[in-house]
Structures are given as C-alpha cells and as structure tokens.
C-alpha cells in the first residue's frame, strides 16, 4: 500500500496564488545585482534578433546524434549548415 507524501508548508515560500501568477514578471526584468547572482539563467529577449525561427524536418538519427552532444546542439546544426551553404 503506498502512502501519500507528507505536505510540508513553508511560511517563507508559500504556494503561489492565481494573483501571483497574473502579476509575475520574467526573470530578466530583475535588477542587475540580483541577476548577477544567477549566471546560468537564460537570456532575455534579443534586442536585434539575428536568427529566424523555422520548422524543419530532419532524419531522426541526425537529430538524436546532435542532441546526444548536449546543450547547444541546435547551434551546432546551424554551424554545420553554414559550412555546406
């Protein structure tokens, strides 16, 4: 018989309400001194986007091979396409 996990309440970190979600702001809008404490956070929107989002169908083995190389796999596909383009 499985038991339900015990729910732990934390007054310093309460569960978000619908109002909290409605008024939340993206992380990149935080002050620079706070963002500096989290160097691995994703970038905000590009000021002058240099890339275009497209839908592209590739062979499954190609995608799996690039994904297996870890983060930045899409950039590596882009670089490979530049070499043959």
pLDDT, tens only, 31-84: 889 888 877 766 677 777 788 889 999 999 999 999 999 999 999 999 999 999
CA angle 74, 77, 82 (to 5 degrees): 130
61 domain residue, yes or no: yes
Helix (H, G, I), strand (E, B) or coil at 57: coil
What pLDDT is recorded for position 76?
94
Contact yes or no for 35/28 (Cβ under 8 A) = yes
CA 70 to chain centre: 14
- Looking at the structure of the chain, the number of domains it has is 1
Please tell me the pTM assigned to this model: 0.45
Amino acid 42: pLDDT:
67
Query: Minimal CA–CA distance to 51: which of 43, 41, 39?
Result: 43
- Residue 8 in any domain: the answer is no
Structural domain including 77 reads 18-42+50-84
């Amino acid at each position: 018989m499985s038991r339900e996990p015990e729910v732990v309440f934390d007054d310093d970190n309460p569960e978000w309400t619908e109002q909290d979600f409605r008024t939340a702001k993206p992380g990149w809008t935080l002050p620079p001194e706070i963002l500096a404490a989290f160097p691995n956070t994703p970038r905000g929107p590009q000021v002058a986007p240099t890339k275009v989002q497209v839908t592209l169908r590739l062979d499954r083995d190609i995608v799996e091979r690039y994904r297996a190389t870890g983060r930045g796999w899409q950039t590596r596909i882009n670089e490979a396409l530049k070499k043959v383009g």
